[in-house]
Structure 1
Amino acid sequence: MARPRAADFEDKQRAILTSAASVLAEQGMDKASMAQIASQAGVSKALLYHYYPGKDALIFDIIRTHLEKLDAAVAEADDPSLDPRARLRRLVGAVLETYRDADNYHKVQLNGTPTLPTDQKEEIHAIERRIVRRFSAVLRLVSPGLDAAHLMPVTMSLFGMMNWVYMWFKDGGPVSRADYADIATALVLDGVQGVIARGR
C-alpha cells in the first residue's frame, strides 16, 4: 500500500520548483546539478529525489507548472462580452501579470523545452498552442481583414513582445506592467493595418 502524501507535500514541491528554476536559470540546463538544487531548496538530496527522480523531471514540471498557470490566467481573463480590443488588452495584461516574479520559470521554459523528450515536448506544445489560439481568435475579431497567412506571424509577434519583456522590464520603473500591456496592445493593433495593406 502506497504511503499517503504529507499534508505539506504540495507546498514543499512548489518551494523545490522555485529553487530549481532559480538554479537552472542561473547555471543553465547542463551545468545545474541536483546537489545545487537541493542546497538552494534547503533540503537533502534524498528528499529532492523523493519528489523528482532527476533533473529532467524537474525541468519538465517547472515548464508545465508555469504554462498551466499562464493558461488558467488567460482563460480567466478572457471575456467575450468585451469589445475585441479591450478583450485583447485583458489577455495581454493577464500574461504580463502572470510573468511577475516568474522570470526564472520563463527562462527555463525558453531554454529547457528543447531538451525534453518528445512526449513531454508535445505536452508542453499543446498548452502553448491552446494559449496562442486564444490570442489568435481575438486578433481575428479585432482585425477581420487579417488573412490566415498573416494571423500567426502577427500573433507570434505579440508573444515576442510579451515573452522577452523580462530582458528589460523592471517593476517600479517608469513603465508599469499595465502601461506596457497598453503599449503592446496598441502597437500590435495599430500597426496591423500595415500588415493587412501589404497582404492585399
Structure 2
Amino acid sequence: MARTRATDFEDKRRGILEHAAAVFAEQGMEKASMAQIAAHGQVSKALLYHYYPSKDALIFAIITTHLEELDAAIAAAEEPALPPQARLRRLVGAVLENYRGADNEHKVQLNATSALSDEEKAAILAIEKRIVKRFAVVLREINPELDNPERPLLTPVTMSLFGMMNWVYMWFREGGRITRDDYADVATTLILEGIKAVH
C-alpha cells in the first residue's frame, strides 16, 4: 500500500525551501551544507533528505518554485482588454510584487543555475522563456518595429526591462520613500518612452 502524504507536506516543503534559500544566499552555493540548512530550518537532516536528496535538488526546487510562482502571477495580471501600455504596467507591477520577500530565492536563481544538470537547466530555461515571451508580446504590440528581422530589437529591449526588474533587490528597501508601485511606474515609463526612439 502506498504511503499517504502528510497533510502538512506542502507547508514543510515550502519551509525547507525558504530556509535553504536563506542559507544559500548567505553562504554561497558551494559553502552551504545540508547540515547548515537543516539547522537553519530547525529540522533533522533525515527529514531534509526525505524531501530533497541533495543540494542540487534543493537548488532546482528553489528556482523552479520561484519561477513558476512568478509566471503564475504574471499570467494572473494579464488583461488582454487593456491597451498594451497599461498591460505592460500591470505585468511589471506583478513581477515587482512577486519579488517582495523573495530576495533569497532570486539570488539563488541568478547565481546557482550553473550548478545544475543540463536537463534541469533546460527545464528552468523553458519557464524563463515563457515569462519573457509574455512581455515581448506586449512590447511588440506597443512598437511593432522592434520585431523587424533586419534590425531585431525586441529581445534586447525585453531583456533590458528584465535587467531593471531583476536587480531591484540590490538597492530597493521596503519602507523607503520609493515604493514598489513607484518603481513599477518608473521602469514602465523608461521603457515606453525609450522605445519611441528605438528604430
CA distance in 1, matches of 2:175, 2:70: 23
Counterpart position of 1:119: 119
CA distance in 1, matches of 2:177, 2:93: 17
Counterpart position of 1:194: 197
Unaligned runs of 5+ in 1: none
TM-score when scaled to structure 1?
Answer: 0.96
Post-superposition offset of 1:152: 0.2
**Letter in structure 2 aligned against 1:112:** A
SS for the counterpart of 1:194 is: coil
Counterpart position of 1:155: 158
* 1:48-97 Cα deviation digits (max 9, x unpaired): 00111010000000000000000000000011100100000000000000
Match of 2:179 among 163, 176, 180: 176
Unaligned runs of 5+ in 2: none
**Letter in structure 2 aligned against 1:91:** L
CA distance in 1, matches of 2:3, 2:165: 43
Post-superposition offset of 1:106: 0.2
Counterpart position of 1:100: 100
Report sequence identity in percent.
Answer: 68
Q: CA RMSD in A?
A: 0.8
Counterpart position of 1:13: 13
**Letter in structure 2 aligned against 1:96:** L
Post-superposition offset of 1:147: 3.0
TM-score when scaled to structure 2?
Answer: 0.97
Alignment of 1:57-72 (within 5 A): 57-72=57-72
Number of residues of Structure 1 aligned to a counterpart in Structure 2: 196
Where does structure 1 differ by over 4 angstroms across 4 or more consecutive aligned residues? none
CA distance in 2, matches of 1:18, 1:83: 37
